Structure formats: structure tokens, C-alpha cells
Amino acid sequence: MSEHYYSKNPTAAHDVHRVEETLVGRKFTFVTDAGVFSKKGVDYGSKALIAAMELPEGASVLDVGCGYGPIGLAAASVIPQGKVTMVDINERAIELSRQNAERNGITNVEILQSDMLSEVMERKFDVVLTNPPIRAGKETVHRIFEQANEVLNPGGSLWIVIQKKQGAPTAFAKLESLYSKVSEIGKDKGYRIIKAVK
């Protein structure tokens, strides 16, 4: 099997890039590298999720599969009184997220290496955000939905972005089996933003 960004220790030769993106009305600079998701710039799905997400002030937020950090760092920047925990299995992504938090002056984040939500299952969150790792397979994506349900506070919400052609209908059905209310918040160029409330 060829290596992909869902590997714990990417072996791809380093290929460091610096990208600038405007998210939540603010300019961010991200350092990216080979072996992480969407290294040439923030992908369209993540941008669509960032534009749609609604975060209560002071919320405790979890970003699952944070990559080099765009979703979690954008979230942290709009809730300065809140806290965002960012997790990814990929060691290289975690190191980049830490560098990018520092580079963008964002301090209300905690960044942890974790296989799905394994390192945070004892915690509780108000919001979980994920651009799920589709290439890791449906079983992994659905496990993330299940684990998110376990760590959410009552009334908390899971926000996901998924392409219709990559299994949005199946994901929606799985979410409906787990959550009390599931709704499509928006669609953008084949991407679906889905919100599931516990």
C-alpha cells in the first residue's frame, strides 16, 4: 500500500512550503511539507467547513485530523476565550501545527498526536470539527463519528465536510444512526457541510 497522509511517520522526503491564506477574515501563514494533507494550500473542503462553522464563544473545540492546522487555528482565532484541541495521527502534521500556531500567534490551542480520538476520549467538547481522512477508508471515518459522539457534551455538535462523490450520503446515514439531529448546513462545489447534534 502506498503511503498517504494518514501514516503515523511519513517517510516522504521533506518539501517545505510556505502558504498564505485568508480564513475567517484574517491572514494566516502556514508552513507545510510533503507527507501531509493538501500541502500546496488549504483545500477547498476545509475552507468550506471553516466558512460554515459556528462556534459558541468560550467553547471547547476538537479538530480531528488537524493536518498542518488550518481548521483548528482558524477556529481558535475566532473564540479567543475558548480552547481548541487539535489531533492527528501524523507526527509531521503535529509538528507543523505547533509551528503554525506559534507563527500565527495563536496560544489557545493544544496539539496532540492521536490515532483518531484515542488520546482525548476522557475529555468533553462542545464542538468537534473534521475534514475526515477519506483515504483512510469508510471504517475509519465512521469510527471518528462514533468517537466524536462519545466526547461531545449533550447538545454539542459535530461538523464535517465531505464530498458527495466520496460518500456523503453514506456518512449522513451513519450520522443519523448516532446523533439526535443531523442537517446539511451547506453545499459548495460538490462538498457537503453536515452538522450533527448530540
pLDDT tens figures, 22-41: 999 999 999 998 888 887 88
Strands 83-88 and 109-113: parallel
pTM score of the predicted model: 0.94
Query: Quick one: pLDDT at residue 8?
Result: 66
Q: Which three cell numbers stand for residue 86?
A: 487539535
Residue 2 has pLDDT above 60, yes or no: no
Query: Averaged over 57-67, what is the pLDDT?
Result: 97
Quick one: DSSP state of residue 198? -
Q: Which three cell numbers stand for residue 120?
A: 482525548
Query: Quick one: pLDDT at residue 94?
Result: 97
Residue 21 has pLDDT above 90, yes or no: yes
What are the beta bridge partners of residue 116? none
Residue 139 has pLDDT above 50, yes or no: yes
Query: Averaged over 94-107, what is the pLDDT?
Result: 98
Question: Mapping DSSP to helix (H, G, I), strand (E, B) and coil, where does residue 13 land?
Answer: coil
d(CA 16, CA 33) in angstroms, rounded, equals 4
d(CA 141, CA 87) in angstroms, rounded, equals 14
Widest CA span in the chain = 45
Residue 49 has pLDDT above 70, yes or no: yes
Distances in Å between the Cα of 54 and the Cα atoms of 17, 50, 153 are 30, 9, 16
Tally DSSP H helices, then E strands, for the chain.
Answer: 5, 9
pLDDT confidence bin for 7, thresholds 50/70/90:
low
Quick one: DSSP state of residue 176? H
d(CA 47, CA 24) in angstroms, rounded, equals 9
Q: Which three cell numbers stand for residue 135?
A: 483515504
pLDDT confidence bin for 6, thresholds 50/70/90:
low
Mean model confidence pLDDT for the chain: 93
Residue 92 has pLDDT above 90, yes or no: yes
Contact between residue 85 and residue 123 where contact means Cβ atoms under 8 Å apart:
yes
pLDDT confidence bin for 3, thresholds 50/70/90:
very low
